[in-house]
């Protein structure tokens, strides 16, 4: 017996399947001018999650304009203020000649000034907020920043980053950012949000896709935002009414062929040992230091495996996490599996 494929409305009203209540709650809080702190374990995918949060916030609320900033490149409060100003003026270039700032800390008033002048609301998203600890004596600066940002009536702020003790200490009392906004620790499966977005996109185009098929689509590309978006659009084009697993497979094959010339150039630049390593990884092996895997794929010693992994990571072909090593490009992995090895 096959599982019936339901429309988005049917799934919502009949079985309430996989609805990301936290995501909707965060959207509501930002729309209601509630400042937020979002933290997650490294590698969870918080950057992609918040990017989607900002996208949907602006899409559903035309009066809200988003501005994203990443503090990773800066190491001081002065550099942060320069980044803050540069990001805002890049987002609103027509306001560059209208901002009169008395001193450097008043740079933090820019969002409110711009919002008032344009008669809009602004949502500012600050990525990698766990890196404030790199600033020299950050506590006084962060206290002042909280005072400058907290009472801006036309702006809302979302700080997000890795779940680190330092960031939690900043947020919890008596930390310098305590009382500024509500803290949410993201722990649920981000695949749920991706699957829900896929189904909504199909519904918006008057087409249908089942829950299982949408999850299959997410898993095929490791829920990578860029490649998932490409795969979804290919599947949409091929779908007349209902997207089936066969259409997903066909769409994935089309993507593999689309990038094939690029992938051939990549493998031509690799050594045989590096290719052997990628073959082992593409085959699902994670015990890459084991004697069995090293002998089977002719990888040499464990120290040689370390050198291979390091070189492939520098080439941005693989990403080494705490528990596993993965391909940075899941389509490249599928191409290796199905077309090259």
Per-residue pLDDT 10s for the chain (341 aa) are: 333 333 434 333 333 333 457 888 999 999 999 999 999 887 677 887 888 889 889 988 999 999 999 999 999 999 999 999 999 989 998 876 655 555 588 899 999 999 999 999 999 999 999 999 899 889 999 999 999 999 899 999 999 999 998 899 999 989 999 999 999 988 755 555 566 678 878 888 889 988 788 888 888 888 887 788 889 989 999 999 999 999 999 999 999 999 899 999 999 999 999 999 999 999 888 888 889 989 998 999 999 999 999 999 888 899 887 778 889 889 999 999 999 98
- Clarify whether residues 41 and 135 are in a common domain: yes
Strands (E), the chain: 36-40, 64-70, 121-127, 155-162, 182-185, 208-209, 242-243, 318-320, 325-327
Q: How far apart are CA 238 and CA 222, in angstroms?
A: 21
C-beta atoms surrounding 318 within 10 Å = 24
- Clarify whether residues 138 and 201 are in a common domain: no
Name the domain count of the chain: 3
| Residue finishing a domain among 185, 213, 232 | 185
Longest alpha-carbon distance in the chain: 71
- Clarify whether residues 70 and 167 are in a common domain: yes
- Establish if 320 belongs to a structural domain: yes
| Residue finishing a domain among 132, 154, 185 | 185
* Residues 6 or more apart in contact with residue 83 via CB below 8 angstroms: 69, 71, 73, 74
- Establish if 316 belongs to a structural domain: yes
User: Which range of residues forms the domain containing residue 316?
Assistant: 263-340
CATH number of the domain that 308 lies in? 1.10.10.10
Q: How far apart are CA 180 and CA 167, in angstroms?
A: 13
- Clarify whether residues 117 and 21 are in a common domain: yes
């Amino acid at each position: 017996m096959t599982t019936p494929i339901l429309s988005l409305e049917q799934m919502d009203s009949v079985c309430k399947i996989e609805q990301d209540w936290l995501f909707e709650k965060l959207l509501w809080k930002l729309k209601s001018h509630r400042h937020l702190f979002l933290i997650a374990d490294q590698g969870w995918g918080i950057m992609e999650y918040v990017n989607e949060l900002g996208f949907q916030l602006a899409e559903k609320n035309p009066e809200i304009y988003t501005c994203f900033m990443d503090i990773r490149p800066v190491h001081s409060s002065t550099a942060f203020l320069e980044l803050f100003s540069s990001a805002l003026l890049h987002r609103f270039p027509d306001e560059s000649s209208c901002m009169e700032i008395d001193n450097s800390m008043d740079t933090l008033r820019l969002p409110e000034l711009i919002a008032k002048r344009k008669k809009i609301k602004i949502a500012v998203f600050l990525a990698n907020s766990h890196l404030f600890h790199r600033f020299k004596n950050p506590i006084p600066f962060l206290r002042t920043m909280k005072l400058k940002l907290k009472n801006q009536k036309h702006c809302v702020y979302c700080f997000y980053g890795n779940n680190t003790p330092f960031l939690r200490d900043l947020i919890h009392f008596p930390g310098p950012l305590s009382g500024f906004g509500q803290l949410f620790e993201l722990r649920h499966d981000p695949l749920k949000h991706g699957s829900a977005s896929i189904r909504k996109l199909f519904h918006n185009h008057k087409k249908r896709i089942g829950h299982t098929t949408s999850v299959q689509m997410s898993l095929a590309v490791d829920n990578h935002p860029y490649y998932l978006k490409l795969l979804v659009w290919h599947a949409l084009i091929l779908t007349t009414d209902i997207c089936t697993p066969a259409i997903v497979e066909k769409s994935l094959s089309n993507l593999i062929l689309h990038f094939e010339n690029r992938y051939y150039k990549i493998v031509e630049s690799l050594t045989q040992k590096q290719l052997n390593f990628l073959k082992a990884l593409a085959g699902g092996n994670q015990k890459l230091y084991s004697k069995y895997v090293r002998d089977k794929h002719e990888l040499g010693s464990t120290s040689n495996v370390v050198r291979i992994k390091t070189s492939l990571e520098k080439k941005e072909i693989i990403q080494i996490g705490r528990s596993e090593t993965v391909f940075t490009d899941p389509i490249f992995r599928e191409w290796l599996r199905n077309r090259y090895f």
